[in-house]
Amino acid sequence: MQLKPLFTFLTALAKHNDRAWFQERKPTYDQLRKQFEEDADFWFRELQKLDPALAGPQGRKSIFRIYRDVRFSNNKDPYKLHFSAYFTASGKDIETPGYYVQLGPNGSTLIGGGLYQPDKEQLAAIRQEIDYNADELKALLAAPDFQRYFGGMSGERLKKSPAAYSVDHPEIELLKHKSFIASHHMADADVLAHPDFRAHVVDVFRAMVPFSQFLRGALDK
């Protein structure tokens, strides 16, 4: 898609985050949204080649709405300041491991995925898989392309060891994770100057495939 017009639109939206301003510029938004849908379809088609488990809906159905849910937030701004999509085998089901892309100004662009805040059963299953197969996880986290884009696994962690595991467990630092995330952040200048940002997203996703498959495998057992 045309990145500069998108960044210009979202930068202005940050200054005028209200319905009247947005509605006056709805045709511009609709055009940008259509371009993002086309990119999402492309990314999903490429992901299906890289990770065959992703046999779900077309990419555009994996796009999040720009409208914020303000019911339980002190921030009542009605619109998000980025475009985003999350690709899984069943659409944008945030409760399953997947691939995420977020595009926006002011350093908000990121490419990544994993599993954010899994529920109690999911967390137990992933920790059990780490307990049994830590070498597999450590090997994929140490892979050159994973290190190049992500630098390692991120995500919120416990300060103490989980109740089911000893403090001296050899993999205790991995077991402390409450979320299992890979994040590749990009500065605005790097996004706008990139010769082929759409292909870059695919390259980053490719580096994350073994990580996503490890998480999905843990939950499927």
The H-or-E segment that residue 182 falls in is: strand 180-186
Q: How high is the pLDDT of residue 53?
A: 87
Q: Which of 34-48, 51-65, 115-129, 198-212 has the lowest mean pLDDT?
A: 51-65
Which residue has better confidence, 204 or 55? 204
Which 3-state string (H, E, C) describes 114-170?
EECCCCHHHHHHHHHHHHHHHHHHHHHHCCHHHHHHCCCCECCECCCCCCCCCCCCC
Q: Cα–Cα distance between 95 and 116 in angstroms, integer?
A: 8
- 138 vs 80, 98, 115, 217, CA distance in Å? 35, 19, 17, 15
Q: How high is the pLDDT of residue 221?
A: 79
Backbone torsion region of residue 200, taken as left when φ is above 0, otherwise alpha when ψ lies between -120 and 50, otherwise beta = alpha
Backbone torsion region of residue 157, taken as left when φ is above 0, otherwise alpha when ψ lies between -120 and 50, otherwise beta = beta
Residue range 16-25: mean pLDDT, rounded: 97
Indicate the pLDDT class of residue 105, thresholds 50, 70 and 90: very high
Q: Cα–Cα distance between 102 and 66 in angstroms, integer?
A: 12
Q: How high is the pLDDT of residue 8?
A: 98
Residue 215: CB atoms within 10 A of its CB come to: 23
Q: Cα–Cα distance between 174 and 17 in angstroms, integer?
A: 40
> pLDDT of 109-164, one tens digit each?
999 999 999 999 999 999 999 999 999 999 999 999 999 999 999 999 999 999 99
Indicate the pLDDT class of residue 89, thresholds 50, 70 and 90: confident
Whether the model clears a pTM of 0.75, i.e. scores above it, the answer is yes
Q: How high is the pLDDT of residue 94?
A: 77
Indicate the angle between helix axes 26-50 and 3-15, nearest 10 degrees. 130
